[in-house]
Copies of this chain bind each other. A is one copy, B any other.
């Protein structure tokens, strides 16, 4: 079943010749209204790419009519010429679509530190405009792939409206390609302030809790666009839940497709005093290379898990920590628990549960293992 495109949107994905392979590499998503509310969440990396800076500025008024996205080049660390290229992409799309330049957002993904081949990008944008269709969102998802092995989409049906999203990435990619891009569209009526609030909250608990290799990209961008074409003013809780579900599905697909990985690992912290404590602990474990290599080796090495927990400032009593791996409580009270040989690693999915016994909060971070292929992907390809 192809991805439902919310009313009011058209999209396309075409091959502009940015990638030497000739694969699809340029996407366009257009909101035809009647409303043009939009919100974005961007990388907090201070070395942000030119398209990130452009899109942040263009979104200040809470509206956007189009997003042009390319793979094959990140347009990051490209100086003032890179900023000019990003503006030229917006400008070119705006002219073809008959809208204003600052109504067009730009997203790029690919190598850092190289200019985009603008001689291919600009004609490609015209091709993408010509290719716009009411069911083009799936093609748009395909054209933003870098080393993704599958294109990634998710959709949820609301009461009289729909939410559909696409994404690509992230971690464990070939050099400089760790970027995560996502666009979520809906035909619900959603004012810009609420769109921003909903998106920020959804990203916080979904994309921001998928931490494949701890490395933050210069280009990460999540955009939400609402056309209002359904005429439905949604229940706020319902649309918050639907957008969160779509983001969660997209984030989970990224983890499952992380290159070089053999495991999708849910690190869940139970009984945290605060949500921040839970996140700090889950992230410390997720980023421990000793933990990640143990997971690759199918080794329920709880010593490495609690060593990572011990580096945090979270509230807990060091002598009362419990840790379960795939349901086997291998560590009790920070000491030896059940027989580690009971842990079954047959599935790709691994569940690590850490019990802080300090409160009521629970946080899950999804991560991957650290494998030979991660090293290969990131060491052997020149960039």
Which positions in A face B, CB cutoff 8 Å?
Answer: 44-48, 76-79, 82, 111-114, 175-176, 178, 213-218, 287-290, 293-294, 296-297, 299, 301-304, 306-312, 318-319, 321, 331, 333-336, 370-372, 374-376, 378-383
Contact = CB atoms under 8 A, between A and B. Distances in A.
22 contacts: A45-B310, A46-B312, A47-B310, A79-B319, A82-B335, A113-B302, A113-B331, A113-B335, A175-B304, A213-B290, A214-B289, A216-B307, A216-B311, A289-B370, A289-B378, A293-B374, A293-B375, A296-B375, A296-B379, A297-B378, A299-B383, A371-B375
A293 B301 CA distance: 24
Contacts of A218: 303, 307, 310
Nearest to A82: B335
Among A46, A288, A312, A333, residue most surrounded by chain B Cβ atoms (within 10 Å): A46
Contacts of A306: 47, 77
A46 B321 CA distance: 11
A297 B290 CA distance: 21
Among A293, A294, A371, A380, residue most surrounded by chain B Cβ atoms (within 10 Å): A293
Nearest to A380: B297
A319 B48 CA distance: 10
A308 B301 CA distance: 29
Given A113-B336, A370-B375, A76 B303 contact: yes
Nearest to A219: B307
A354 B358 CA distance: 41
Contacts of A335: 77-79, 82, 113
B318 A46 contact: yes
A114 B303 CA distance: 10
A112 B299 CA distance: 13
Nearest to A313: B46
Contacts of A301: 175-176, 383
A6 to B, nearest CB: 34
B372 A334 contact: no
A368 to B, nearest CB: 11
Contact of A112 (B48, B303, B319): B303
B47 A309 contact: yes
Given A301-B176, A334-B47, A379 B293 contact: yes
Contacts of A113: 302-303, 331, 335-336
Contacts of A46: 309-312, 318
A363 B41 CA distance: 34
Contacts of A217: 307
Task: Please give me the 9 A-B residue pairs with the lowest Cβ-Cβ distance, nearest first.
Answer: A112-B303, A297-B379, A47-B310, A293-B378, A79-B335, A45-B310, A46-B310, A293-B379, A296-B379
